[in-house]
Amino acid sequence: MNDRDQIVSEAELNAYVDDELPADRRSAVEAWLATHPEDAARVAGWRRQIELIRERFGHLASEPPPQRLNIERLTHRRYGAIAAAIAATIAAFLIGAGAGWSARGIEVAAPSELARYTTDALVAYRLYTVEVRHPVEVPGDQRPHLVEWLSKRVGSPLHPPELDKQGLKLVGGRLLPGPAGPSAFFMYESPSGERFTLYCGRIKDGQTALRYTGGDQNAAYYWVDQNLAYVLSGPAEANTLREIAQAAYDQIDRRSPPPQG
């Protein structure tokens, strides 16, 4: 018996079932199971779970996919009607969900103007990042037009940061109502589909450092520079959020003229 030095952990039992153990541990686990009926029963139960899951869902992979998943159709974008229907459905429940979320919002002691920006920015983040076909009004490949238009509406020259080094490309932007007038909303996307947004609008406060606010799912870094409030939002668990926010902050800060007087 090998029991003396070979205590088998629950993690190893799982790895055994999933065929993720190196050969030497595999035989150790097998020896353990031969003398530990309770663990052997657990392993058998887990294997039964796997069978149930495969029985229940496995056949779906041999079903022919429906027409709407035809790759040629999707490539040539001949799916206007379906897309519109889906967009309408998504919009219908998003409006409700967005409102509910803003109510439980992020925790602020007294809602300052900047806090209202942050709340609005996170609501916009949640509302638009789930959009597949209409996330923005003007796509990122029309960057000069996008920046000119939003700068004019916000009433201040805007310079959305270049975040290519952080692996993000500009999806585009849109105009949104903000706490104190029109706000600009820029969306960026990573190769795996994680989205980050930069929301900005005019504000009375002059200047602040980079600050953080986190919910359980989304988080944001926000700051004020040259009477513009900026909120950079992303998934709360993305550990790149701080790096991205810092890069955006640095680029915007570099563009600011030195303080006068």
- Total residues binding another protein (CB under 8 A): 52
* 159 burial level (CB within 10 Å; 0-12, 13-18, 19+): middle
191 part of the interface to another protein, by CB under 8 A? yes
Residues 218-247 that bind another protein (CB under 8 A): 218, 237-238
Q: Is 50 in the site for another protein (CB under 8 A)?
A: yes
Q: Would you count residue 22 as binding another protein (CB under 8 A)?
A: no
Site for another protein contains 63 (CB under 8 A): yes
Q: Interface with another protein includes 49 (CB under 8 A)? A: yes
SS3 18: coil
Type of residue found at 9:
S
* Out of 118, 119, 129, 197, the residue judged to bind another protein by CB under 8 A: 129
Alpha helices in 58-178, H assignment, sequence order: 71-75, 80-104, 113-129, 143-154
Is the Cβ–Cβ distance between 243 and 227 less than 8 Å?
no
Cβ atoms of 242 and 229 within 8 Å: the answer is no
Which listed residue (1, 7, 23, 71) binds another protein by CB under 8 A?
Answer: 71
Does residue 56 bind another protein (CB under 8 A)? yes
Q: Which of 45, 111, 155, 181 binds another protein (CB under 8 A)?
A: 45
- The 10 Å CB-count burial string (b at 16+, else e) for 56-90 is eeeeeeeeeeeeeeeeeeeeeeebeeeeeeeeeeb
Is 217 a binder of another protein (CB under 8 A)? yes
Least Å from the CB of residue 101 to another protein: 8
Partnered with residue 220 across adjacent β-strands are 213, 233
Residues 149-168 that bind another protein (CB under 8 A): none
Nearer to another protein, 143 or 159 (CB): 143
Q: How does DSSP classify residue 258?
A: P
Distance CA 248, CA 75 (A): 34
Q: Nearer to another protein by C-beta: 1 or 88?
A: 88
User: Which among 223, 198, 221 is positioned nearest to 208, based on CA atoms?
Assistant: 223
Options 38, 75, 103, 257; binder of another protein; rule CB under 8 A: 75
Which residues are near another protein by CB under 8 A? 10-11, 14-15, 18, 20, 42, 45-46, 49-50, 52-58, 60-63, 65-66, 68-69, 71-72, 74-75, 82, 86, 90, 93-94, 97-98, 126, 129-130, 132-133, 169, 189, 191-194, 217-218, 237-238
